[in-house]
């Protein structure tokens, strides 16, 4: 299945893109997605840092199963205020 | 009331939204952009937001205040885009019958905004820039793409 | 800045007095006159001050904030005379580089104002009035000259 | 000696005056003054309530010795803010 991913702030700058379309097997999880993102963009985050993902505007656990048409965003450490 | 806007913020307007005759205490927080970071002069800041999720998280925070402190009158206004030094990037106004709840809830709202709302701040210096993260504990401008701390 | 005045208070003016580019956090407290007390409708309030001593105590409170929290930017404005319901009787604005000190110091200033500053508030009802004392723990309008609690 | 005393708020209303001039022996203390005030104005405060006194714009202890020309004020429970 195809998953559209958005990149914000630090991740957008490091990835050099604000959106990407990933091919993932049906039943893929958030952890599968971040693994694929790291493969494509090795400089995005150091290995010891977990990449936080939002699915449909909520923080998602690594074992969350993804579906086509989910709104998936990579969330670098927030710093509002 | 919650809002995210690229226009200058107005403390009087946001504060007046929570004032009611039954509320004896109004506490307003203004977050303003500081002029230095570790000795480096900051020229300006750039804020970026994931709007849909940020608005949803701000709404969640308002509900938390109702549950935790019984406080109903909360207004949050966050600015995005280019913000000059000394300008206001965040306003939180909380009103309650008594001051203790108003102080605690206002402080908690600000903490939660910085913890869970997907908004990012970039400090621009004369010789570079950095994405601020997690209350300055994480990146330093000299290290560039330094290690992030997991979780936030 | 400290002041005691019988003119309406201006939150924007008082808040702006403590803003500086090195201060990232500004916390403002507004005390407003409530419309009820134990089910009775309050029509208006009358504030009376022992001015010389009140100003001196407000200055002492500002010094306490410097000693206790390292906070230097404090503004306190207290109103006296007739104050209508919903109007502001007290403004405390505190600014600091970081929010924690600003919140703690602002809260503490308000507590101290209510503890040590010789200013008195009289609530006027349709059928009488009472001098408020020590955060409402003391008098009740039905008791008239009821017992005071010692110390404040 | 003569001590001028000011009454505020609740005490002003209960005493029915905003100022009074008291005759006290030389060396009299704040406690002597409040005793004299209570004698003149029995309704000012119940016996179990201590009357707080400011001398020269500071809170004074009961054993503080008074002098002529001291600025002496009776301070009912404060309720600013």
D15-67 pLDDT, tens digit each = 999 999 999 999 999 999 999 999 999 999 998 999 999 999 999 999 999 99
Per the domain annotation, does D54 fall within a domain? Answer: yes
Hey, which chains touch D, using 3+ CB pairs under 8 Å? C
B12-26 pLDDT, tens digit each = 999 999 999 889 999
In angstroms, the CA C5 to CA B21 distance is 22
Rounded to two decimals, the ipTM of the complex is 0.90
Instruction: Chain C: give the shortest CA distance to residue D23, in Å.
Output: 23
Select from B102, B24, B18, D38 the least CA-distant residue to C136: B24
Q: Is B152 on the interface with C (CB under 8 A)?
A: no
The residue of chain D nearest to residue C146, with distances taken between CA atoms, is D46
Residue C140 scores a pLDDT above 50: no
Q: Kindly state the average pLDDT of the residues C109-124.
A: 96
The C-alpha angle C98, C104, C107, rounded to 5 degrees, equals 135
Tens-binned pLDDT, residue by residue, of chain A (81 aa): 999 999 999 999 999 999 999 999 999 999 999 999 999 999 999 989 999 999 999 999 999 999 999 999 999 999 999
Q: Kindly state the average pLDDT of the residues B106-111.
A: 98
Residue B147 scores a pLDDT above 90: no
The percent of residues above 90 in pLDDT, for chain C, comes to: 78
B56/A58 touch (CB, cutoff 8 Å), yes or no: yes
Cβ-based contacts of C42 with chain D (< 8 Å): none
Q: Kindly state the average pLDDT of the residues B128-145.
A: 56
- Backbone φ, ψ for residue B114 (5° rounding): -75, -15
Residue C137 confidence (pLDDT): 40
Q: Using an 8 Å Cβ cutoff, are B85 and B40 in contact? A: no
Q: Is A77 on the interface with B (CB under 8 A)?
A: yes
Residue C134 confidence (pLDDT): 59
- Domains located in chain B, CATH noted: 2-147 (3.90.1170.40)
Q: Is B84 on the interface with C (CB under 8 A)?
A: no
B86/C21 touch (CB, cutoff 8 Å), yes or no: yes
Q: How many domains does chain D have?
A: 1
In angstroms, the CA D75 to CA C56 distance is 15
Q: Using an 8 Å Cβ cutoff, are A6 and A75 in contact? A: no
Q: Kindly state the average pLDDT of the residues C112-121.
A: 97
D8/C48 touch (CB, cutoff 8 Å), yes or no: yes
Range of the domain at D29: 2-75
Instruction: Chain B: give the shortest CA distance to residue C21, in Å.
Output: 5
Pair of tokens at residue B92: 């939180």
C10-44 pLDDT, tens digit each = 999 999 999 998 899 999 999 999 888 878 899 99
Q: Which of residues 25-64 of D touch C (CB under 8 A)?
A: 43, 45-46, 48-50, 52, 54, 57-59
Of C30, C85, C97, which has the smallest distance from its Cβ to B26's Cβ?
C30
B30/C29 touch (CB, cutoff 8 Å), yes or no: no
Residue B134 confidence (pLDDT): 59
Residue B74 scores a pLDDT above 60: yes
Residue C39 confidence (pLDDT): 83
CATH of the domain at A26: 3.10.20.30
CB C75: neighbour CB atoms within 10 A?
22
Cβ-based contacts of D50 with chain C (< 8 Å): 150-151
D78/C89 touch (CB, cutoff 8 Å), yes or no: no
Per the domain annotation, does D81 fall within a domain? Answer: no
Of B15, B24, B107, which has the smallest distance from its Cβ to C11's Cβ?
B15
Residue C141 scores a pLDDT above 50: no
User: Which segments of chain B does DSSP mark as H helices, in order?
Assistant: 11-18, 51-69, 99-116
Residue C146 confidence (pLDDT): 34
Residue C10 confidence (pLDDT): 97
C52-71 pLDDT, tens digit each = 999 999 999 999 999 999 99
Residue B149 scores a pLDDT above 70: no
CB B34: neighbour CB atoms within 10 A?
19
Residue B122 scores a pLDDT above 90: yes
The percent of residues above 90 in pLDDT, for chain B, comes to: 78
pTM: 0.90
Cβ-based contacts of A71 with chain B (< 8 Å): 52
When the pLDDT of each residue in chain C is averaged and rounded to a whole number, the result is: 88
CB D37: neighbour CB atoms within 10 A?
22
Per the domain annotation, does A81 fall within a domain? Answer: no
* Residues β-bridged to residue C83: C45
In angstroms, the CA B56 to CA B68 distance is 18
């Amino acid at each position: 299945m195809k998953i559209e991913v958005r990149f914000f702030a630090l991740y957008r700058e490091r990835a050099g893109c604000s959106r990407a379309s990933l091919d993932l097997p049906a039943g893929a999880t958030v952890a599968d997605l971040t693994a694929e993102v790291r493969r494509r963009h090795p400089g995005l985050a150091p290995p010891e840092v977990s990449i936080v993902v939002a699915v449909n505007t909520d923080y998602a656990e690594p074992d969350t199963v993804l579906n086509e048409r989910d709104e998936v965003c990579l969330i670098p450490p927030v710093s509002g205020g | 009331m919650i809002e995210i806007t690229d226009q200058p913020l107005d403390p009087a307007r946001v504060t007046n939204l929570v004032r009611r005759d039954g509320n004896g205490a109004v506490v307003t927080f203004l977050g303003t952009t500081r002029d230095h970071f570790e000795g480096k002069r900051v020229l300006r800041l750039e804020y970026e937001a994931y709007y849909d999720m940020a608005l949803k998280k701000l709404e969640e925070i308002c509900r938390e205040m109702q549950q935790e402190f019984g406080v109903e009158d909360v207004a949050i206004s966050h600015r995005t885009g280019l913000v000059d030094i000394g300008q206001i990037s965040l306003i939180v106004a909380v009103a309650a019958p008594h001051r203790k709840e108003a102080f605690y809830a206002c402080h908690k709202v600000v903490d939660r905004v910085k913890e869970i709302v997907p908004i990012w701040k970039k400090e621009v210096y004369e010789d570079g820039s950095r994405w601020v993260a997690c209350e300055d504990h994480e990146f330093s401008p000299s290290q560039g793409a330094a290690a992030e701390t997991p979780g936030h």
